[in-house]
Chain A
Amino acid sequence: MGLLVTLAIVTLQIVLLFCVVMLIVLALVWLERKVLGRIHQRMGPMRVGPHGTLQSLADGIKLLLKEDLAPRGAERLAFLLAPLLVFAPSFLVFVAIPFTRDIVVRNLDLGLVYFVAVSSLSTVGMVLAGWSSSNKYALIGAARTAAQLISYEIPLVLVVLSVAMLGGTLDLRGLVESQGQAGPYVLWQPLGALIFMMAALAEVFRPPFDIPVAESEVLGGPMIEYSGMRWGLFFMAEYGNAFAFSALFVLLFLGGWQGPLLPPFLWFLLKTSAMILVFFWMRAAMPRLRIDQLMGFAWEVLLPFAFLNLFLTGVVQLYGWPLWSLGLLSVTGLLALGYVVERGRVTWRRSPSLAS
């Protein structure tokens, strides 16, 4: 009897979480279209619902009603499985995200590790999608996807590790609470925050790092041959991931739900929305990087500086220096990063030419 009740409660929690994630995704899709529209000096959706608020719902219904196509040469099982493999991780990470101290599905002791590990599972799904659609563009996109995700995983993990070192715990709730005493970690680790930002953009395939799924080049990468709700799953996974990584940034660097005056949930929402707006802003303003430039950026710039970040955090903690010294060193590291990028720009990533 107790087992049945537990199972019922767990199912209810899953369904509730799913609904929450869906709502978040729908809201994000609408928000992106409006914000992008305003940046382009146009209005975005206006017709469906007041100011287009029901537009994402209408799009979702449309996707459900579409014909379910599969290309002839596609590997049937892999083709059908891939969208689920991409969507499931982006849904699963929400289990460990604490929206406030009390609103969390299950606060894991290894929440940070869980987050990073599960979110990197979507690589498998993308590659499977690209391989199983018998489409060369999808294959190119899948190869790029795998390369990019692996390349940017490492700086991400290193930065996350240095934050865990500062906070002394891998528990997400604990990390936020430790920021309550120390102040938001973005002040003490600006270098880490910037690296995390860029690595997160790459993990979520948002511009400027969206070349694997770029519309104007590989026509959508692994997602080309999918139609209807299967494509919708990819789409939802992208926005779910975007929200999850923004939330992680808020938890790790901006102090989570803490703040004066307003209720904690509202603070969390505001901070995450601000980060998401930054994501949209980067999309509007930046062209994409080519895949080898992208990977060069990860391995030659982000990785060494992530190591530097880790090293600095370790040194400060070992010798017990005050936290503001870490902030100072981190800012120096930031300037060094800027200088390296600027110098590297001149001799960077020239495309090989058969003529030379």
Chain B
Amino acid sequence: MLIKREFETVEMPINVGPQHPSTHGVLRLVMTLDGEQIVKVDPVIGYLHRAVEKLSENLRYQNIPHLFDRLDYVSAFNNEWPLAMAQERLLGLEVPPRGEYLRVILCELNRIASHFLFFGAFGHDAGTATSWMYGFRERERIQRLFEMVSGYRMMHDFIVPGGVREDVPEEFVPALRALLPVLWQGLGDCNNLLTENEVLVTRTRDIGVITGEEAINYGLSGPSLRASGVREDLRLTEPYSVYPDLDFDIVLGQHGDSYDRYWVRMQEVAQSLRIVEQALDRLPGGLVCTPGLPKYPKLLKLPVGETYARAENPRGEFGVYLISTGGDRPYRLKIRAPSFCNLMALPYLMEGHYLADAIMILGSLDVVMGEVDR
């Protein structure tokens, strides 16, 4: 016999405010809780809005990569590439093979670094501070390599239309070759720590489930989309650069829950390491940038036209829509930020779950507020 009692409960509005250890930046979630269960959630964004698109309208093309680095500050190389691609398309430039391979190597390294940061933040939300340290230990190694190449650990300003700004120093290739086994081992450590941990699986299995069709409807992209089983990776479905010559797999998840989003990213690190190894083996010599491009202080002037260039960022599809009316400044530069679109699915994912799950869902989407707010 089941005694049913109707408890009169009150729904409690709560503010997971912009200052919170787990909101991955300044995101505000206005939640209505019934006990522990979330009834309604409203994300409020805009706390990190820096008017990048408007500022770009007043900056010369050579100055814009500085702003773009700071959009998705975790993976800066991946932001510069679509911008360079858009300008190359308008100018009709052909990038020399060494430039392409260097771009691929640097961007895939940045993808690895970004996913390690995701691992750190995800595990930290789950409760282990250890995962934070392990993720950042590997990320630091990669960033030291970046310092060797561009002079900066994070904000590189290195990928320009036509190729890369300058050739990598001689010690780069041996250093990278020495680093790859260390990264494989670091990935193994991270996988050992969390991937099969029963507690993590219990926390994230069947949490925040989104089917493939719903994911497409909400505009998800990147690993969050692939975790729902949708075979969509711009590197393979709409190949650009030298990706057709490289051999790697698309990682797909099956359930579309938070655990799959985590698992897909960890597998993608392994795939990116494969790509870097192959690209290193095939790295040709020669120029790194199309010759004849105006270098500062000569100004780069784009012909009249508009184009949309997109690339596969660690977070999804990063697109740059460029409208040029001649001249050395863009008329309009629109950024399609993957985290912005991924964040739109948040109310759908979160409602009905518990407060503790909400944190894991947000962590598994891997949003960076820099590109959500631009």
* A interface, CB within 8 angstroms of B: 36, 39-42, 136-137, 140, 207-208, 210-211, 214-219, 284-293, 341, 345, 348-356
Contact = CB atoms under 8 A, between A and B. Distances in A.
**Interface class of chain A by DSSP:** loop
A290 B42 CA distance: 23
Contacts of B351: 353-355
Contacts of A42: 133
Contacts of B134: 40-41
Given A208-B199, A215-B21, A351 B354 contact: yes
Contacts of A287: 123, 126-128, 194, 197, 199-200, 203
B202 interface: yes
B287 interface: no
B313 to A, nearest CB: 25
A210 B126 CA distance: 11
Nearest to A42: B133
Interface residues of B, number: 41
A291 B356 contact: yes
A136 B35 CA distance: 11
A256 to B, nearest CB: 32
Interface of B: 12, 14, 20-22, 33, 36-37, 39, 123-130, 133-134, 137, 193-194, 197-203, 205-207, 209, 351-357, 359
B130 A285 contact: yes
B202 A288 contact: no
Nearest to A139: B12
Contacts of B125: 216-217
A290 B36 CA distance: 11
Contacts of A218: 355
A132 B192 CA distance: 42
Given A219-B20, A284-B130, A293 B36 contact: no
In the A-B complex, the 6 residue pairs with the closest CB atoms = A288-B127, A354-B352, A287-B126, A40-B133, A353-B352, A287-B127
Contacts of A216: 21-22, 124-125, 127, 359
Given A351-B353, A353-B352, 11 more contacts: A39-B130, A42-B133, A217-B359, A286-B128, A286-B199, A287-B197, A287-B199, A290-B203, A290-B354, A293-B203, A345-B201
Contact of B199 (A210, A215, A288): A288
Contacts of B123: 287
Contacts of B355: 140, 217-218
A211 B202 contact: no
Given A140-B36, A289-B202, A351 B21 contact: no
